């Protein structure tokens, strides 16, 4: 007879009174930001002039405010087919090129709306022709001295034109960059004109302009040799950029325009701060988390009508500009992070190809997924697991051996165990990094079956996005299986330096291989909002057995019985936190013939290969189930081998009976048990569809004694799902498994 633990039924009944959604563990900030964005868009829409289709302009700068407002709305996902946008575009097409601000913003609007390439090309030509001999821009054809504000916008417009397909030669970008180098102060700042009178708004403009111009030409010391092989003998370290980033870190603020900045342009500064943070890949300036701090400030400063203002700029076109600048900060800054670039070691060896991850991210964003994506760098010396998990991929490369201290090795291991993917390559195919990374892998994952091994052409990474099976022989790719999927990918052949050259045909295989590794791990629909916080399941020591606490055992069988070793631990941690059940978080690994087997009200079974039970094991398991026990099982990544073997076992336990689909209307899937599971989401291997849950069961005396999922649950509980893993998402798996446990405890 099954021995129920004292007090468990009472704890269960209390937990069922109110079971929240899994998502309630996340901060509410993303929803707050979305509401602020909606209110701002509604405010801007309400201020459009119905007759002409424009917004109130600033002085003689016809089209300037309208362009800025339309740009902010487009980036807030207002469709170019929206009637207000269409009307504004008609108006902007009639605005001739005359002022630098207007021409640049107009170009950015046309590029974002993917329209009017002829006007984009016209505007780019105008901007190139109006640049001053010193490499900067004034207000326009009327002349006057150049300034850094006009120059910043001119470069933003030209970048938008270049991204749209306008050819701008490398020498033009180099001369424009030289202006910013020449006008930077010794401490790293910029003013409106020249070196003096530093301001925050002009200093973030300088950071963005250095990045925009330098990305138009290679940032490694040597490029292609004979148009094929890359030699990246170290990065061209941008000391100007480094000094500027340090200056912002020392003078950081979100509530004022730092140094001598005019407070009228506070929101203009914030718009520049967002761009500087995004383009540099910096999550922090100094120790300041710029986006989260900026969001907090803007949410507290938004007015009831959805606008933003300062006391000296509270009406008319200034109000429109400040609202548009704030909207741009919120919308651009929240773009999901696809890849974190690992900053490791004491020097710059981690950054031999400064634009590698940026270019790979742009390849995924523009060529593959057609979705706005971003990247950032993370310093392993100060990062925690939650910071690394903000992106699904962590990229690492270098020339020298990565000799990491224990704390950083632990950080990498926990990141991968929590569902992250480590992608590494050896710059210039250097032997030092190659040997060092192989040693690092042995330290990270010393367990049996976790060796770094070459991936054969039938591994799903070769076909996860592009069919690269013909590349497998010439491009060795190694991996480590962690849980249910490959969690570490390593290329001893250089990828990242090739990513530095996105327009070279010889780089395309490297881009496609990087894209396949990313697509193996994650789909575009799985990416987190930048403000979302992924729950970290902590390592827990072996719990002391306590009376009245729920403890689940995992069945040891002669197949691969433990492909998801942390699944039960993660599930129990979630039940403890959400359902408030007292649990033993560590799973008990148990054989069916163990004398303590009958002490567990529910046992869990998992695997990917076929297995068999002895006659005595079958008899014992039958007695266990007929005595009130529950067997919960799932096929690892939808393995048909395990599923067939499990169904065969059930027929041997109970001759003449088979597993049958559990009806969707059964209480197991209802809030009477726990969660409403009328619809659950499948993994990307099954199309990321929302469907009715698929569980099979066998009833004994009116209760389900065996509950089986032919789709993966265990790997999903670990967030370990590759592109070939047929199962449920992590959130759906948590809910399904929680309901199964709660149902079993009620019987």
- Give DSSP secondary structure letters for 137-176: B-SBTT----BHHHHHHHHHHHHHHHHHT----HHHHHHH
The pLDDT of residue 579: 66
* 521-544 per-position pLDDT tens digit: 888 777 877 777 776 766 555 444
Token digits for 100? 């630098």
pLDDT beneath 70, residues of the chain:
1-28, 142, 218-237, 261-262, 535, 537-548, 579-580, 582-583, 585, 721
CATH number of 27-333: 1.50.10.20
Which CATH code of 3.40.50.12140, 3.40.50.620, 3.40.350.10, 2.20.28.270 fits the domain covering 337-526? 3.40.50.12140
573's CB contacts (< 8 A; 6+ apart) are 537, 538, 540, 583, 585
Q: Do domains 8-23+535-746 and 337-526 have the same CATH topology?
A: yes
The pLDDT of residue 142: 67
Neighbours of 738 (CB within 10 A): 23
Q: Measured between alpha carbons, how far is 298 from 284 in angstroms, rounded to an integer?
A: 18
Token digits for 196? 């003096």
Every domain of the chain and the residues it spans: 8-23+535-746, 27-333, 337-526
| Strand-pair partners of 454 | 478
Alpha helix (H) ranges present in 215-286? Answer: 239-250, 266-280
Residue 418 CA, distance from chain mean position? 14
The pLDDT of residue 537: 64
Helix, strand, coil percentages for the chain (3-state, nearest 5): 45, 15, 40
Token digits for 9? 């039924």
The pLDDT of residue 483: 77
Token digits for 492? 């001893």
Please tell me whether residue 649 adopts helix, strand or coil conformation: helix
- Strand order of the β-sheet with 421-426 is 374-379, 337-343, 393-398, 421-426, 485-491, 478-482, 453-454
The pLDDT of residue 310: 83
* 482-517 per-position pLDDT tens digit: 877 899 999 999 999 899 888 888 889 999 999 999
Domain 8-23+535-746 top-level CATH class: alpha beta
The pLDDT of residue 232: 55
């Amino acid at each position: 007879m099954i021995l129920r633990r004292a007090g468990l039924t009472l704890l269960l009944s209390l937990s069922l009174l109110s079971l929240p959604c899994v998502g309630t563990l996340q901060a509410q900030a993303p929803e707050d930001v979305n509401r602020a964005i909606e209110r701002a868009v509604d405010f801007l829409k309400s201020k459009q002039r119905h007759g002409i289709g424009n917004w109130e302009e600033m002085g003689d700068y016809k089209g300037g405010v309208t362009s800025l407002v339309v740009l902010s709305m487009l980036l807030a996902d207002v469709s170019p087919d929206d009637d207000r946008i269409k009307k504004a575009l008609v108006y902007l097409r009639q605005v001739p090129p005359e002022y630098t601000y207007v021409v640049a913003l107009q170009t950015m609007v046309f590029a974002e709306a993917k329209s009017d390439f002829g006007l984009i090309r016209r505007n780019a030509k105008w901007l190139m022709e109006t640049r001053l001999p010193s490499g900067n821009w004034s207000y326009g054809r009327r002349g006057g001295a150049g300034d850094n504000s006009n120059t910043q916008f001119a470069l933003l417009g030209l970048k938008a034109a270049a991204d749209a397909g306008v050819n701008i030669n490398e020498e033009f970008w180099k001369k424009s960059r030289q202006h910013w180098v020449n006008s930077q102060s010794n401490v790293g700042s910029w003013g409106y004109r020249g070196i003096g009178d530093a301001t925050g708004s002009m200093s973030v403009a300088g950071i963005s302009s250095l990045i925009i111009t330098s990305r138009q030409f290679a940032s490694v010391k040597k490029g292609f040799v004979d148009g094929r092989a890359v030699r990246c003998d170290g990065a061209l370290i941008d000391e100007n950029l480094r000094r500027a980033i340090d200056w912002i870190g020392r003078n950081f603020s979100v509530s004022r325009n730092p140094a001598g900045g005019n407070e009228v342009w506070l929101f203009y500064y914030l718009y520049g701060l967002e761009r500087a943070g995004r383009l540099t890949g910096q999550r922090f300036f100094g120790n300041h988390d710029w986006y989260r701090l900026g969001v907090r400030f803007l949410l507290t400063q938004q007015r009831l009508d959805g606008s933003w203002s300062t006391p000296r700029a509270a009406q008319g076109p200034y109000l429109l500009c400040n609202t548009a600048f704030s909207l741009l900060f919120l919308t651009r800054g929240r773009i999901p992070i696809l890849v974190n670039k690992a900053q490791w070691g004491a020097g710059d060896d981690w950054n031999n190809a400064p634009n590698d991850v940026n270019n790979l991210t742009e390849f995924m964003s523009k060529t593959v997924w057609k979705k706005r994506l971003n990247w950032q760098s993370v310093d392993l010396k100060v990062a925690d697991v939650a910071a690394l998990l903000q992106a699904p991929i962590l990229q690492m490369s270098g020339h020298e051996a990565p000799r990491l201290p224990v704390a950083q090795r632990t950080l990498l291991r926990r990141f991968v165990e929590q569902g992250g993917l480590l992608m590494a390559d050896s710059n210039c195919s250097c032997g030092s990094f190659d040997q060092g990374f192989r040693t690092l892998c042995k330290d990270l994952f010393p367990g049996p079956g976790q060796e770094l091994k070459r991936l054969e052409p039938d591994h799903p990474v070769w076909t996860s996005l592009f069919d690269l099976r013909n590349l497998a022989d010439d491009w060795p790719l190694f991996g480590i299986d962690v849980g249910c999927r490959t969690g570490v990918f390593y290329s001893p052949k250089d990828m990242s330096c090739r990513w530095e050259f996105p327009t070279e045909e010889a780089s395309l295989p490297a881009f496609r291989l990087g894209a396949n590794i990313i697509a193996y791990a994650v789909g575009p629909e799985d990416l987190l909002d930048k403000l979302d916080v992924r729950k970290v399941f902590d390592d827990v020591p072996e719990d002391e057995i306590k009376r009245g606490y729920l403890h689940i055992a995992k069945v040891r069988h002669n197949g691969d019985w433990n492909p998801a070793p942390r699944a039960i631990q993660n599930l129990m941690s979630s039940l403890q936190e959400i359902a408030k059940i007292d649990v033993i978080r560590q799973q008990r690994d148990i054989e069916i013939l163990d004398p303590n087997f009958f002490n567990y009200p529910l046992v869990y079974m998992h695997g990917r290969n076929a297995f068999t039970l002895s006659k005595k094991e079958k008899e014992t398991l039958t007695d266990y189930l007929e005595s009130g026990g529950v067997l919960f099982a799932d096929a690892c990544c939808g393995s048909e081998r395990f599923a067939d073997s499990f169904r065969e076992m059930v027929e041997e336990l109970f001759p003449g009976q088979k597993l049958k689909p559990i009806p969707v209307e059964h209480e197991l899937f209802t809030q009477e048990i726990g969660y409403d599971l009328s619809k659950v989401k499948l993994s990307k291997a099954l199309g990321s569809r929302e469907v009715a849950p698929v569980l099979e069961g066998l009833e004994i005396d009116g209760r389900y004694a065996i509950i089986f999922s032919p789709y993966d649950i265990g790997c999903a509980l670990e967030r370990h799902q590759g592109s070939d893993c047929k199962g449920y998402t992590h959130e759906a798996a948590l809910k399904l498994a929680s309901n199964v446990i709660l149902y079993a405890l009620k019987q």
